Homo-oligomer: A and B are copies of this chain.
Amino acid sequence: MSRTTAPGLREARKQQTRQSMLDAALGLLEEQSLSSLGLREVTRAVGITPAAFYRHFRDIPDLGVALVEQALGSLHTLVTSLLTEQDGAEERIDTSVELIQRYVRAHPAHVRFVARERYGGVREVRLAIAAQLNLFTREVADALSAEAAAKDWSPAELHMLAGLFVDQMVLTACAFLNAELGEGPSPTEVADTARARMRLVQLGREHWRG
């Protein structure tokens, strides 16, 4: 059985232009926020009629939450990669930062979109992003609780630590993006800072109740 529906040449074509719209929107959002993105802009970029928009989305916010699922879906891959790393603390930090940098290079538009709209002007999208990031936080907290170092950490404390990691990941990804764009410090500086921050947190973690 297939994930969505039966083959359906009809449905296939539809999902194809839908994806084209999402891609076009992501491109247009490089230089503006979602709350100023026009429905006609998107359809024009794809090469369809404005009215055709409504065959796929109710309005722009609706398209926005679809973008959230897509962008943070790809981030989900990264998070699970980070969690399955099982080396020592030091190497773990190194590979984490490197993976984040690689991810930003692979999906810059996704990173920008999430960073921009996390506190952006469209309520629905803000809530969708918050929900997904909370989900990430819970995953991280679960993974942390399985480690030996989590011996005497309460669930609430693990959640706090996981949230710190997630926030730091987003912040680091965004810093890499700015670096890649020439706004702000160089990529190697960003990497150094990110590693140092994680080392600091790791130290605090080791002495949490020492």
Contact = CB atoms under 8 A, between A and B. Distances in A.
Contact of A203 (B116, B130, B197, B208): B208
A208 B130 CA distance: 33
Query: In the complex, which range does the number of interface residues on chain A fall in?
Result: 35 or more
Given A164-B197, A201-B204, A208-B200, A33 B121 contact: yes
A36 interface: yes
Given A35-B32, A183-B127, A193-B163, A119 B174 contact: yes
Contacts of A204: 199-205, 207
12 contacts: A29-B121, A31-B121, A32-B121, A33-B34, A115-B119, A116-B121, A167-B171, A200-B205, A203-B203, A203-B204, A206-B207, A207-B207
